[in-house]
Structure 1
Amino acid sequence: MKPIVSKDSIVYFNDECYAALNAYLEKANHSKIFILVDSNTYENCYTHFMSKIEKEYEIEVLEIEPGEINKNIDTCSSIWSVLAEYGADRKSLLINLGGGVVTDLGGFIACTYKRGINYINVPTSLLAMVDASVGGKTGVDLGNLKNMVGVISESEMVLVDTEFLGTLPVKQMCSGFAEMLKHGLIQDRAYWEKMSDLSKLTTDDLDQLIYDSVVIKNKIVFEDPTEQNIRKYLNFGHTLGHAIESFYLTHPEKPELLHGEAIAIGMILEGFISAAQLSLTEEELIIISHVILATFPKVDIDPNDYKAIMELLVHDKKNEKGNIYFVLLNTIGEAKYNCIVSDDLIIDAFEYYASL
């Protein structure tokens, strides 16, 4: 597969990944190399990754606990301290080997340590391959508020090796499909239709769909790297999805919700709002709801929690001057940003989801 060139980085796929990495490492002559992993990727991915590095380098492994709950400033502080302890300088390199938590957090650590060191992302989850691979968004959560602290700065390169997907639990694979479905909904009806029946996909199909998903995201980010306009499309499903995810993160008595599972709910809710407020048809809304629920079983959201979830919307990063802005759909494959939605319509959306 041909590498995908973004503003300041290049995404390599499968066989090309490690040829590009080895050429880069030999040429760059970094003073030290650090590899950030969580305990899962250290166990399941590290050996395979290291077997692809052809020369001997001074490498230190930095291991964190897995899970969104650890994507915070405290974890960053610990890693910054370890980097300082091991003498990391501005010629050091950080390789982030893991899912979205590792790549988001590791990118932020690299961008801020000594005002910035080089980093490479090696996403090991489907979600990270199609979402974190392009665009340079790095960051951590502030309490239960998603990605509130971060910077936009692209990695030296991204290595998408789909062999890592064989290590993922089914729930984690499904979580990544949410972002792929979103890419079709906001930008490409034909891609959405390919994604609409996951039961028929082969391994080769999945590799191509991952590639096409990265192409869709890269096209948007290339035109609007700092999210002034069309990059906001990528937030479809995320305004309410992030609020739901944040609410469930701080209520341990609730079922665990992965990022993609929360975004799947958000896409149905925001699909309903699109049909009520824009030109998305009732038929399209039914199709969207059916396709998403075929992969993501419905979550019973207590109606008593609607208001508490909605209160978290004030922290959404798209907000400006006190307005809560949504990304909605005119039709499948065409989005509109900066839409203002009434509280009553949001409640109606929750009730629609509950009725499915």
Structure 2
Amino acid sequence: MKIRLGYKDARKVSEIVKVLTKESSFMLTAHKNIDGDAIGSELAMYSALKRAGKDVCIVNQDAVPPIYRFLPNSKKIRLSAKELSKPPEVAVIIDCGCADRTGDVFEIIKKVKITINIDHHFSNTKFADINWVSHKFSATGEMLYFVVSQLNKNVSKNEAECLYTAILTDTGRFIYNINPFTMKVVQDLILKGAAPEKIAKKIYLERPLKSVKLLSLALESLKFEKKRKFAWMKVTKEMYRKSKTRVEDTEGFIDLLLKIKEANIVFLIKETQGVIKVSLRSKGRYDVDKIASKFGGGGHKKAAGCYFSGISLDKAEEKIIKEIERRIP
């Protein structure tokens, strides 16, 4: 199936593919506390570059959440760059608003010859040598579909599975930021071998018991502000300890909060490695990107996030609540 991009986007894809074709060694990375869009996009690009005969590795700050470990080559993702004998020629930073959001991997990015930034967030700082940033796409995985297609003139079954996962998860199961163009891409990924039922079951119906135990602890912290209609819950280090879990076991928790009928905005605040992470979601009436941007984060109108360092979880919670209250009459 031939799906045509607009002129500007097509030029960016050609510029990126030219570098991917010319250079020989690559490192792929994404933002801290990695999600389905970033993982699926990375793994699709990894497969495409391998098929093109390139030397490629994926290095991330954080481990792959258990619900995404079924994806092809997920075990190839490294959590340390110490094994690299030398910096690669090219770093491809995927689904990441600014370079330092890659965490420790940022130190490697500084040493490469060429950086490529592919992202669909409004708040992207366009920090790389080559920047393809466009918020009209539903997910970064949708953008990678065109890069992968042009690099090898086709999309493999494994790549289709990874890209379908990226789009499925970043649109909240095809609820947010969906348009006919996106669904054409999804249709082609299914034709190329992505299995919707299998992927949905793996992500949404096969959660480890310990993750469910962590969720039960987090739900005890659930609060709702009646006047301004927003809800939130916390995940603390003590909860991780009690349930024998880690931060990656919280993947998908924010989606549960969105099911609260009375809430217009929801947020999940959790302790991670050295920082406090906040994930915000809106049902459309209010723009959570503006809330996240206040604290150096960003995203989209209906989905955004930010980080706090050097303060407690309770203090970060207080700051987010005050900002929500300021923006909701």
TM-score of Structure 1 vs Structure 2, range by shorter chain: 0.3 to 0.5
User: What is the TM-score normalised by the length of structure 2?
Assistant: 0.38
